[in-house]
Amino acid sequence: AGPLALARDLLAEGGEPFFVLNSDVICEFPFAALAHFHRQHGGEGSLVVTRVEEPAKYGVVVSEADTGRICRFVEKPRVFVSNKINAGLYIFSPGILQRIQLRPTSIEKEIFPAMAQEGQLYAMELQGFWMDIGQPKDFLTGMCMYLQALRAQHPEKLHSGPGVVGNVLVDPSAKIGANCVIGPNVTIGAGVVVEDGVRIKRCTVLQGARIRSHSWLESCIVGWSCSVGQWVRMENVTVLGEDVIVNDELYLNGANVLPHKSIAESVPEPRIIM
Amino acid sequence: GTRFRPLSFEVPKPLFPVAGVPMVQHHIEACAKVPGMKEILLMGFYQPHEALSRFLVSAQQEFKIPIRYLQEYAALGTGGGIYHFRDQILSGGAEAFFVLNADVCSEFPLQEMLEFRQQHGDAHSFVILGTTANRTQALNYGCIVANADTQEVQHYVEKPSTFVSEIINCGIYLFTPAIFQHIGEVFQRNQQELVLEESSNGWQRAEVIRLEQDVFTALAGSGKLYVYKTDGFWSQIKSAGSAIYASRLYLNQYSKSHPERLAQNKAGGPIIQGNVYIHPTASISSTAVLGPNVSIGEGVTVGAGVRVRESIVLHGASLHDHTCVLNTIVGWDSTIGRWARVEGTPSDPNPNDPYAKIDSETLFRDGRLTPSITILGCSVTIPAEVVILNSIVLPHKELSRSYKNQIIL
C-alpha cells in the first residue's frame, strides 16, 4: 500500500474514487459494478471477494450478508471461517490516502483492519472466474478460465480453422504451419512461428518464440524469443524463460529454465535449470 | 537364456535381425566366403520353428552351400553339442572346421585364422579368435595368456575374479577333428564322477561340456592351442541393448561389404543420416528423418515427420506421423500413435576407450530398473501423444497412457 502514497497527488486530484488492482490476478474485472457498489454504500473502501474451495491458502473475509460491510479479516485461517477471500481488486475514495504513509505497508494487515473496525470497508462478491496466477501452474489454469470466458462472451476473438481444437487465441502476426493441431487452451503471441506438424495443448507461447516441426507441448509456458527444436516433447508445467534454446529431440518434463540458457540434454524429472 | 526377452518370445535369438538380416546370417555369409567351405551346421536347443525352416531354405538358396539345423536333445553346453554331433561334423571328411557362437557380432576374420594357423601352428593346431578388452571388463570373458612370439596359449581362465589378461575369447574357433579327443576325455571324466554320484540322469549330465572351462583350460600350455588376435570389431549380443550396438557395427561394415544395404538420400525419399538399413518393402514418408544406426524391417510404415535414431524397427510395425523413436526396439507388428515419444537409454561402451566392450546389463540395480533400451514386444500398441521412456512392454499390450522406467506386463 505504501506506493499509493507515492501517487498521492495524482490520486487525490479531482476527488474521485480510484481502483487498485493486484496485477497477478485474472478475472472478468467488474469495474462498472464495483464503482456502482462503492457509490451506493458511501464507505471509504470496497474490495472484491471471490469464493474458493480452499480458503485457508488465502486471507479470508468475514462480512455482513445483506450490506456487505466487512467485519474482519482472518489471514490463512486454520479452522473454517468463511470461503470468501480477498480477490485483490479494490476501489477507494481519496480519503484513504490519509491512512497511508510512504513506507512499506501491507494493506491487508495494516490498513484494512482499521477500516473494517470503523465500518468503512465493504465487500462485493465477484461473478465469474478468478485465479491467482502467481505460480506457473496456476497461470495456466487461469489462462484456461480466461479463454473459456472469452468463448462465452466474444467467441469471434478466438481462433478457428483446420487443426484448431477448443479455445485458442492466436495473434494475427503469428504463423502456424501445416498439419498442426493447436488446442484446447492455447494462447500464441505476436510474431510466433509454429512450424509444421506441431501439437500444442494448454500452453502459453510468448512473443517471438519459434516452435520447430513435429514437437509436442502440453501445459507449458514458452518465453519470449525462445527456440524449441524439432521433435521436442515438453510437458508438466515446463517453463522457459526469455531466449531459451531447446535442442532437437529432447524431452523436458517440468523443467523450469532460466533466461538465456541452452538446453542440450533431456530433463526427464522436474527440476530447475539455471 | 532369458536375457533376450521379450524379443526371444517370437523368434530364436540367432534369427533376430541385426542390421537388417538375421543375426546368424552374418556368420553364414562369412563362412560361405571361405574357399573350400563345404557345409554349415547350425546347432542349438531351439524347438522346430517356422522362421528357422524358412531361413534355412532361403539361406541355402542365397549362399549356395548346404546348411542344416541339428537340434540338441538337451542344452549340452558350448562343447557338448559339437561333441554329440561329431559324426555329422566329420562326415564330409573335413580336415578342419570353424565353431562360431551365434550371439556374437564380428568381422569374422576366418581366412586370416586359417593363414595364421599355417604360419604359427601346424595342421593339428587349434585357434581361438581373441580381442583386447580393458582390464576391468576382461573379467567378464574368457581370458587368454599367450606367448608373445609364438601366440601359443599358455593359460586360459573363464571369467576370472582377478585380472589375468586383457586378451579375451571371442567365441570363434578353428578346430581339427582332433578336438573331439580332448572333449571326449572330458566326457569320460564326467561320466566317472557321476558314476560315483549314482544320479538317474547322469548320462545326460556327462554330455554337458563347456569348451571354455573344461577344454581350453586343459589345453592351455600343451602347445596345441593358439590365439589369433584381432583388432576388428567384435561384441557379444546378450541383451536388446547390445543388438542395437551390434547393428551399428555391422551397418558401419556395410559401406565396404554391402553398400547396397545402406539407404541413400534421394528425391522423394526420407532424409537419411549416417548408416541406415531400409527393407525394400518398407513404406517411408519423404519427410521422415532416419538415422544414424537405424534398421527398418519388412513392410514397416513410417509416417510424415517421424524421427528414428539408434533403433531397430521390426517387420510390420507402423510409426504414425510426428513420432520420435530413440534407442528403442519396436517389435513386430507394433503401432506407435501420432506424436508419441518412445525412448530408451543406450548402454554403449565408453567411446573414449578403444577396448571398452558393451556392459552385460543387469535389469535392476538397488531395487530400481536400470535405464536401458526401450523394447516394445510384438503387437504392442502405443497410443498417440504419450511418452514411453526406458520401459519394456511385453507382447500384445495395448497401452493407454505414458510410462517411464517400468516393465509393463
d(CA B44, CA A41): 95
Given CB atoms, is B63 within the 8 Å cutoff of chain A?
no
Cβ contacts of residue B172 below 8 Å, gap of 6+?
B98, B99, B100, B101, B104, B106, B108, B110, B113, B128, B129
The H or E element that residue B18 is part of is: strand B17-18
pLDDT at residue B389 above 60?
Answer: yes
Mean pLDDT calculated for residue range B332-347: 96
Q: Which residues of B241-266 are buried (b: 16+ CB within 10 A; e: fewer)?
A: bbbbbbbbbbbbbbeeebeebbbeee
Q: Per-residue confidence of chain A (274 residues) as pLDDT tens digits?
A: 888 988 999 998 889 999 999 999 999 999 999 999 999 999 999 999 999 988 888 879 999 999 999 999 887 788 888 899 999 999 999 999 999 998 888 888 889 999 999 999 999 999 999 999 999 999 999 999 999 999 999 999 999 999 999 999 999 999 999 999 999 999 999 999 999 999 999 999 999 999 999 999 999 999 999 999 999 999 999 999 999 999 999 999 999 999 999 999 999 999 999 8
User: How far, CA to CA in Å, does B357 sit from each of A208, B87, B229, B328, B360?
Assistant: 47, 36, 16, 20, 9
B305/A214 Cβ within 8 A: yes
Given CB atoms, is A179 within the 8 Å cutoff of chain B?
yes
A199/B385 Cβ within 8 A: yes
Catalytic residue, chosen from A57, A76, A157, A175, is A76
Grid cell for residue B248: 551399428
**Residue B364: predicted pLDDT:** 75
pLDDT at residue B170 above 80?
Answer: yes
Report domain extents, chain A.
Answer: 3-132, 136-272
What is the helix, strand, coil percentage profile of chain B, to 5? 25, 25, 45
Given CB atoms, is B292 within the 8 Å cutoff of chain A?
no
Q: Which residues of B touch A233 (CB under 8 A)?
A: 324, 341, 387
Given CB atoms, is B248 within the 8 Å cutoff of chain A?
no
Q: What CATH superfamily is the domain B260-404?
A: Hexapeptide repeat proteins (2.160.10.10)
Report domain extents, chain B.
Answer: 17-236, 260-404
- Picking from B307, B343, B385, the nearest residue to A214 by CB comes out as B307
What is the tens place of the pLDDT at every residue in A215-227? 999 999 999 999 9
d(CA A191, CA A206): 9
- Picking from B304, B385, B389, the nearest residue to A197 by CB comes out as B304
* Cα dihedral B245, B246, B247, B249 sign: positive
Say whether B240 sits in a helix, a strand or coil: helix
B322/A214 Cβ within 8 A: yes
Look at strands B21-22 and B17-18 and give their pairing.
antiparallel
Q: To the nearest whole angstrom, how far is the Cα of B341 from the nearest Cα of chain A?
A: 8
pLDDT at residue B103 above 60?
Answer: yes
pTM: 0.88
Residue of B nearest to A234 (CA): B387
Q: Which residues of A touch B321 (CB under 8 A)?
A: 179, 197
Q: Which residues of A touch B343 (CB under 8 A)?
A: 251
In the chain, the amino acid numbered B304 is: A
**CB A65: neighbour CB atoms within 10 A?**
6
Report, at the CATH architecture level, how domain B17-236 is classified. Alpha-Beta Complex (3.90)
Q: What angle do CA B145, B150, B153 make, to 5 degrees?
A: 30
Q: What CATH superfamily is the domain A136-272?
A: Hexapeptide repeat proteins (2.160.10.10)
Look at strands B40-44 and A121-125 and give their pairing.
unpaired
User: How far, CA to CA in Å, does A125 sit from each of A28, A47, A122, B268?
Assistant: 12, 9, 10, 63
B321/A251 Cβ within 8 A: no
- Is-contact B235 B245, C-beta < 8 A? yes
Tell me if B17-236 shares its fold with B260-404. Answer: no
Q: Which residues of B81-116 are buried (b: 16+ CB within 10 A; e: fewer)?
A: bbbbbeeebeeeeeebbbbbbbbbbbbbbbeebbeb
What is the band of B203 on the pLDDT scale with cuts at 50, 70, 90? low
What is the tens place of the pLDDT at every residue in A74-98? 877 888 888 999 999 999 999 999 9
Q: Which residues of A touch B292 (CB under 8 A)?
A: none
**Residue B191: predicted pLDDT:** 85
For A3-132, CATH number out of 3.20.20.70, 2.30.40.10, 3.40.50.1980, 3.90.550.10 equals: 3.90.550.10
Given CB atoms, is A233 within the 8 Å cutoff of chain B?
yes
- Picking from B305, B326, B343, the nearest residue to A197 by CB comes out as B305
Q: How far is residue B21 CA from its own chain's centroid?
A: 12
Asked if A76 is an active-site residue, the reply is yes
Interface pTM (ipTM) of the complex? 0.80
Q: Which residues of A touch B307 (CB under 8 A)?
A: 214, 230-231, 249
Tell me if A3-132 shares its fold with A136-272. Answer: no
What is the band of B361 on the pLDDT scale with cuts at 50, 70, 90? low
